[in-house]
Structure 1
């Protein structure tokens, strides 16, 4: 009987912690699926995983910066920015520790090639990226403050205008795998949005 009570307590704590955030995330997800608002993804100072079958972007810029996740000190990141991007097979996942064990929050969108994820003024703060990439009219080694091809330096980024950067008119990435500290966009339309909770870590994007 005692173990049942403790188990019940853990479940109640889990519900108190997770239900409001999941409900809010679901409501935001509906709005994003309809293209109704801007988006910013960050998870309490945690890294999250992102994969995509393809990412086709116009107005590409990349530069070094410092991110300041909630509850953490500054961390170095590479900011990848796109004026406009279309994505197929998008997956984002984060593992959340809870009183009943690890829970994976997994978001998917754009799995139908006819209904891709679309983003405007997209910024990704990442510290690892693996992909096959093709760039059109790329400039390597420009100063971050002199970039002209993309959306410009994010106002939230801590960087120097003379830091190393690169830019291109167009970028095409396939087989994308990355870890990120944050993602933001002026508009982010998640067609075919699916959001699920899974016990354990097996449902991570990779």
Structure 2
């Protein structure tokens, strides 16, 4: 059912751990048994952080699911996620970091990636992604959505239009909660983004002025918390 009032929806300090259906703790076992896994690959045992000044996307979709993988000490685990998808996304001043703990002789090591730092001044310098899906465990941002529908059945996210995102490609249709909770919007703008995620996939990912660095300790994380 579509929202009766169409237009922009602005949410201050939008905080997402959207787990109303398959990602609830009691449902994780069911999701694994039915194969309702978000990422199309076994995820690493390391959650990563992403910070961005802005993210502007088209054809936003979001639904709950479960990722599965193994920890660094080789133990199987499952993680509830909110899968967020966009047809296109433009990102300014993006930072991504991941900490590998207890590296022999070195201690904790932080891998930090930066791109799109000049995107606020020059639109051509923004990070660009096409057909991107993010398996998010936590998100804080200021958000504005254009023409948003909340409570859509997940199997109807793209309304049968294959040119719009729906359930992540590669996930068998009979292994998804087709009638589970989801939401979609024609446009989405997020500012002051702080996000934790387990996986990201994209058909295209363009990273202008890419910088990658390694640091001892955790001080170089994109943000604390």
Give me the TM-score of the superposition, normalised by structure 1: 0.76
**Counterparts of 2:126 and 2:43, CA distance in 1:** 24
1:110-149 superposed matches below 5 A: 110-113=116-119, 114=122, 115-148=125-158
Which of the numbers 208, 211, 218 marks the counterpart of 1:194? 211
Q: Does the 8 Å contact 2:151/2:183 carry over to 1?
A: yes
Task: Establish whether residue 44 from structure 1 lines up as the match of residue 44 from structure 2.
Answer: yes
**Counterparts of 2:176 and 2:79, CA distance in 1:** 12
Which of the numbers 187, 194, 197 marks the counterpart of 1:180? 197
Q: Deviations 1:153-199 (Å, cap 9, x if unpaired)? A: 11355641111000000000000001100111011001110000000
**Structure 2: 5+ residue runs without aligned partners?**
1-39
Q: Does the 8 Å contact 2:44/2:198 carry over to 1?
A: no
**Counterparts of 1:203 and 1:42, CA distance in 2:** 27
**Counterparts of 2:189 and 2:126, CA distance in 1:** 15
**Structure 1: 5+ residue runs without aligned partners?**
1-39
Quick check: which has more Rg, 1 or 2?
Answer: 1
What is the DSSP-based 3-state SS (H/G/I as helix, E as strand, rest coil) of the residue aligned with 1:148?
Answer: coil
* Number of aligned residues: 167
Q: Counterpart of 1:63?
A: 63
Which of the numbers 64, 76, 79 marks the counterpart of 2:80? 76
Which of the numbers 128, 145, 167 marks the counterpart of 2:184? 167
Q: Does the 8 Å contact 1:41/1:182 carry over to 2?
A: no
* Greater helix content: 1
Instruction: Using the TM superposition, give the Cα deviation of residue 42 of structure 1 relative to its aligned residue in structure 2, in angstroms.
Output: 8.8
Q: Does the 8 Å contact 1:55/1:87 carry over to 2?
A: yes
Distance change >3 Å, CA 120–CA 42, structure 1 → 2 = farther
